Amino acid sequence: MTNNHTDSYTALLRGAYRFRETEYDGDRSLMARLSQGQDPDALVIACSDSRVDPALLFGARPGDIFVVRVVANLVPPRRPGDATAYAVMAAVEYGVKALGVSHVVVCGHSHCGGIKAAMDVARGQEPPPFECLGPWVALADGACRDVLAEDPETKRTDVETATAAEQWSVLKSIGNLRSYSWIRERVERGELALHGWWFDIDTGELWVANSETGVFRVSD
Ligand SMILES: [Zn+2]
Check whether 1 has a pLDDT greater than 70.
no
33 sits in which H/E element: helix 28-34
Domains in the chain: boundaries: 1-37, 38-218
Task: Give me ligand 1 centre to Cα 71, in Å.
Answer: 6
Check whether 21 has a pLDDT greater than 70.
yes
For the entire predicted model, the pTM comes to: 0.94
pLDDT tens across 38-90, in order? 999 999 999 999 999 999 999 999 999 999 999 999 999 998 888 888 989 99
CA distances from 151 to 1, 156, 195 (A): 45, 6, 26
Backbone angles phi, psi at 109, to 5 degrees: -160, 165
Task: Give me ligand 1 centre to Cα 62, in Å.
Answer: 23
Task: Give me ligand 1 centre to Cα 33, in Å.
Answer: 33
What confidence score (pLDDT) does residue 152 get? Answer: 77
| Phi-psi map region of 80: left, alpha, beta (phi>0 left; psi -120 to 50 alpha) | beta
Task: Give me ligand 1 centre to Cα 207, in Å.
Answer: 15
CATH class of 38-218: alpha beta
